[in-house]
Each structure stands twice: as structure tokens, then as C-alpha cells.
Amino acid sequence: MLQNNKRWLYVALPIFFFWFFGQIDKMGISIIQTDPEFLNALGLTGDDRSAKIGLITFVFTISYALSNLFWGVIIDKLGARQTAILGLVVWTLTMIMAGLSTTYEMFLISRIILGLGEGMMIPVSGKFISNWFNRRELGKAQASWITGNYLGPALGALMLVFIISTLHWQAAFFILAGFNLLLVMPMFLFLTRNTPEEHPRVDKDELEYIRMTDIQDEAPTKSFTQDFRYWVVWFGMLVASFLFFGISIWLPTYLAEGRGFAQEGMKNITSISWMFALIFVLISGYLSDKTRRPSLMATVLFGITALFLAYAIMAPNPIIAGLCMGLAMGAQGGVFHLSNLFIVKFSTPATAGRAAGLMGFTNIMGGFSSYIMGWLRDASGGSFSSSIIMLIIASLLGLLAYLFTIKKEAAEVRVFHQTAERIS
């Protein structure tokens, strides 16, 4: 079954678990911050509690976004495999530090360092995909690891609630550190190589397929920085990060405190919301390869996000409101997938790390979103309505940005079909 398909075992599988556990490390704080023992232990009480909680994600995303810039350069020099191992060492240590934290300030420092370590995730994945997969299968290859991006938090929400309820919030961090050290790191050490040419178990036929190009998947001839569509996607990612972090970080709190869900209901809807994101990713990966219209799809997804957020405000039923928030988050998962597909489309294997690093910088907006939502909630006496209205406005900005790319994309698709017909 693996004949001429070893790239899916040696690269796609390690990257899946890389994101599966990396996202639990990153997004698990949304569950942990609902635990009263965690809040009391770190002094997260008082009228400014929500702003202080938002600051936890703010400092993480600032360091995460800034580190993407230098990780992108490092990866192009050092290689994706070595960079991934280095980053895993950093974030394993910070998981242990977080579990040992006894003050709010110490925990903030652990999140800053975690952001520095995890900042290489997007550049590493973009570099591996660019080096190891034929350009015509980029949608499937991207979906294979972005699946871990959403399946991890979906199952992680269930796992963390169980760990916290049976053990303690510190145990959650120690267990996650163990997964990184004992499972993910060995995969990169023993399975991956920077390129298929370096791997002793990749045969000639598979290597020829990986490097094969034709008229439908020619690599770009100019720098990604010279393509205006890259910068539209970059702005779209700014908006998507603002939306995705804002919804995902505050969703469990919104469900528990804003809509009155018990822990079981909060856990289930949070998990389902991450599954929505996974479904949108898989659909986007399939349709982007099928229709060759990823910009149009991104435009539609921003519109869907705005509609779901608006209905979440108006829906009197808590379950419907919660599911609408989850569907809005899921739609942005689809945008995230398409954005990472654009990274590879607009770059070459030599520049993929830098293109992904610059794109990863957009995560900085997620920190602002988390903090602003916390501040708005404090200012509104605990209501989430003003925060959600802010997210609706952001969704419409993303929609408007992608409108500028649709015309050129449609023209490229027409040219492709005309050329294909002449050749056939």
C-alpha cells in the first residue's frame, strides 16, 4: 500500500501528530482557563479577570507571530527536520514550566516561551509539504496535517476536562509534555528527512513523481512578495487569526458563563466546534483541488462566518447559539487551510519557509482579539454581544479583501481549461 506513497508515512504522519499535540498545547488553555482551581491558583479574580485571562493568549500570540519571522529564515537555512526537533525541545520544556507555575507572571512567561517554540510550526509544515509533494496534490497534502490542527483540540477538549476533573490542572501540562517527548519527537528523528532525495527508503519512481511538473502546476517564476494576491491572502489571514483565536479561546467561557452550560455541555459543544473546523478543512482541501477557485471559496467562508456570528447573537436557544459560534469557527478553519495552500502556490521550495513565516506573523492578531474580547466583556458587565459584533465586522473585512482576487483567479481558470483542451 505504501509503494510509491512513502511520503504520506514519513512526512504527513509526523506532521499530523506535530499539529495534533501542538494545538492541544496551544489551544488547551481555553479549557484550562474555565477551571476555578487554575483561576484561584494564579490570582485570576476581580473585575479585570477577563482582561487578565485574555492577556495569557495575547502574550502567547505576540511571541508566536514574531518568532514566525525568524523561524522562516532559519528553516530555509537549517532545514525543516532539524528546526522541528529544536522547536519540540523548547515547547516540551515550557509545558513543564507551565505546570510548575505558582504565579500569574510565571505562567505568562511560560506562554511567551511556548509561542517562541511553536512559531516554527507553520514554516516547518509549509517547507515539508513544498519539498515532499507534487504540486498537483497540495490540497490533499495540506489537509493531511491541518487535520491534526483541528482533530487535536476536538479530542483534546475531552481529554483535558477528564484530566482536570480526575487529577489537577497541572497534570494536563505534564501529560502534554510527555506526549511531545515520547511520541512526536521520535517521529521526526527516525521517520523524516528534509527532502525525499535524502531519505534512504524513497524509491526512484516516487521521487520522479514528486518532482514532476506540467502545465497545470508550474512553479511561480517571480517572488511571492511581487504577487499582490499573496498580500491579499496575508491580510485575509490577519482577519482569520483575529476571528479564529477570538472565538476558540473564549468559546468554552462563552458557553459556560455566557450561555449557562454545565461542564459536560461546554465540553461537548467545544469538541463539536473543532470537528466543524475539521470538516470545513476537508471540504476546502477537496474543492480547492477540484474547482481551482480557492479565492472564491475563501470569500464565501468569510460571508458564512458573519452570518453564523450574527445568528449566535440573536438565537434565544443556548444550544443553537453555541453551535453557530462553532460553525463560525469552523468556517475560519477552512480559510486557514486555504491560506496555507496559497503559501505553497505563490512560493517555491527555496522560499516556502520565508513565505510561511511571513504568513505566520498574522497570528499576532489572535492575541489582540483575545485581549480585546476580554476587555470588552469586562466593560460590558460580562456580556459577549459587543465582542461578537466586533468579530462580524472583521468577517466582512475579510470578505471585501478577497473580492479583489476573484476576477484574476477566474481568468486563470479559463486559460487553464482552454490550454488543456488544446493539448488534449
Residue 121 near residue 14, CB atoms below 8 Å: no
Residues in the chain: 424
Q: Which three cell numbers stand for residue 272?
A: 463539536
Which DSSP string do the residues of 317-370 spell out, in sequence order? SHHHHHHHHHHHHHHHHHHHHHHHHHHHHTS-TTTHHHHHHHHHGGGHHHHHHH
Residue spans of the chain under pLDDT 70: 1-3, 139, 213-223, 343-345, 347-353, 356-357, 360, 424
The phi-psi region of residue 260 (left if phi > 0; otherwise alpha if psi is between -120 and 50; otherwise beta) is left
Residue 129 to residue 418: CA distance in whole angstroms? 29
**Amino acid 292: pLDDT:** 80
**Amino acid 245: pLDDT:** 85
**Amino acid 307: pLDDT:** 96
**Amino acid 215: pLDDT:** 44
Residue 195 to residue 187: CA distance in whole angstroms? 15
Helix, strand, coil % in the chain, rounded to nearest 5: 85, 0, 15
Residue 3 to residue 326: CA distance in whole angstroms? 39
Output the CA–CA distances (angstroms, integers) from residue 201 to 9, 138, 345, 408, in the order listed.
Answer: 11, 22, 28, 41
Which DSSP string do the residues of 180-235 spell out, in sequence order? IIIIIHHHHHHT--SSGGG-TT--HHHHHHHH---TTSPPPSS-GGG-HHHHHHHH
- Cβ neighbours for 318, distance < 8 A, ≥ 6 positions apart: 255, 259, 260, 261
Q: Which three cell numbers stand for residue 61?
A: 500570540
DSSP 8-state class, residue 34: T
Q: Write out pLDDT tens, residues 293-344.
A: 888 889 999 999 999 999 999 999 999 999 999 999 999 988 887 877 776 6
Output the CA–CA distances (angstroms, integers) from residue 284 to 102, 146, 163, 334, 344, in the order listed.
Answer: 43, 11, 33, 6, 16
Residue 354 near residue 130, CB atoms below 8 Å: no
Which DSSP string do the residues of 157-173 spell out, in sequence order? HHHHHHHHHHS-HHHHH
